[in-house]
Structure 1
Amino acid sequence: MKSLLIIGAGGYGQHIKEIAELCGYSKIEFLDDNSPCAIGKIDEWNILQDMYNGCIIAIGNPETRKAITEKINHLHTLIHPDATISRSAIIGDGCVIEAYAAINSNVKIMKSSYICAGAIVNHDAVVNSYCQVDCNAVVASGTIVPEKTKVQSCTVWTDK
């Protein structure tokens, strides 16, 4: 049985749970400091993480996400079955790739980044750690998104 511990039970955590179900996880539970659906508080990750196949962070704030990510031993990456990922792309630990996202050739998505629904990361681009490429945003070919950056919905990121 595939099991996943999601840290953060808010809206994004619920979304990640649905993606995890589509990816075949059958035991999915949350840690959250403010949610009645959580089995414990966030700081209990170290006690509980070994009871699951992996953990994923569902917290939007990149500083908080980074602080938690650096402590977790078994980060899992979730890729929605309706996402398109090039065989030459590299996807780091703890990432979430949502439905209809397109990750093209020679792309690097670094640790604990979110590529949201309909987003495109074009060939030879790099999305550094703890980023979010929001819905329908585009990262232009050959560009680099700095660590902890949010590329807003329906925008084009280019550093050229």
Structure 2
Amino acid sequence: MKIKEDIIILGSGGHAKVIIEIIEAFGKYNIIGITDISLFKDQTYRGYPVLGDDSVLRDYIKKGVKNVGIGIGGFKNNNNRKKFFDKAKKLGFQVPILIHPNSIISKSATLGEGCVIFSGVNINTDVKIGVNNIIATGAIIDHETLIGDHVLISAGVTIGGNVIIEDEVLCALGSNIISGVSIKRKIVVGAGAVVVKDLVKKGTYIGTPAREMKLI
């Protein structure tokens, strides 16, 4: 029997719960514990020991633990997730790709380090996805779409073919991106919005068709 590699989960929120279940279903990794500033050492979380806060990571990499899973999401932006990914890499950890077995991913698609693919996701032909992205429950990404780094594609999002989504974009619940458009860095596409043309100015876009939300 193949020995499972050890992994530590960073964070203890709702996203961490999903990550834990994906790892349990994935079957490749052995979760040795959780790090989080809001939990006390020697507690348990979802049946796994709390190791302490992130300061313990240096000790564990010295002990030969090579992998971390980032249990930190973000419904407004991806800043915290990016921060923890960069910290883990600087310490020398690997951040493995985690794919729920109930997802469908084309054999020609490519995923970057640290991507997490939830249940029910469908990723089509020649899609290219950068590092540290979340592709949440039931999202659909069609052929030849390019997605940058530290992007959150929320549950129920539909992205057409030949779309370009740059770094740190957030596509909120149920939004739709038609084929052939591009979305520039750090733009937020609001829940249920329909993007029918390129979005180039940083901001939050809502409605059908998607328009920049103006502050009152």
> Aligned to 1:5, which of 3, 8, 18?
8
Percent identity of paired positions between Structure 1 and Structure 2: 28
**1:65 counterpart letter in structure 2:** R
Contact 1:94 1:112 (C-alpha < 8 Å) held by counterparts: yes
Partner in structure 1 of residue 34 of structure 2: 30
In the alignment, what sits opposite 1:44?
56
In the other structure, the counterpart of 1:102 is 122
* Equivalent residue, structure 2, for 1:15: 18
Equivalent residue number for residue 177 of structure 2: 157
**Unpaired segments of 5 or more residues in structure 1?**
none
Q: Which residue of 1 aligns with 2:73?
A: 60
Instruction: Give the whole-Å Cα distance in 2 for the aligned partners of 1:59 and 1:16.
Output: 9
- The one-letter amino acid paired with 2:79 is E
TM-score, length of structure 1 as denominator length: 0.91
Output the amino acid matched with 1:140: G
**Distance of 1:40 and 1:139 partners within structure 2:** 39
Alignment coverage as a number of residue pairs: 160
SS of 1:33's equivalent? Answer: coil
Higher relative contact order (CA 8 A, sep 6+): 1
Q: CA deviation at 1:78?
A: 0.4
Summarize deviations over 1:38-66 as a string: whole Å, max 9, x none: 31112432332454341121212422222
- Structural RMSD (CA): 1.7
Contiguous gaps of at least 5 residues in structure 2: 182-196, 198-216
CA displacement, residues 77-115 of structure 1 (integer Å, 9 cap, x when unaligned): 100001101011000100100111011111111100000
Partner of 1:135: 155
The more displaced of 101-110 and 31-40 is 31-40
Query: 1:128 Cα shift?
Result: 1.2
Paired residue type of 1:64 = N
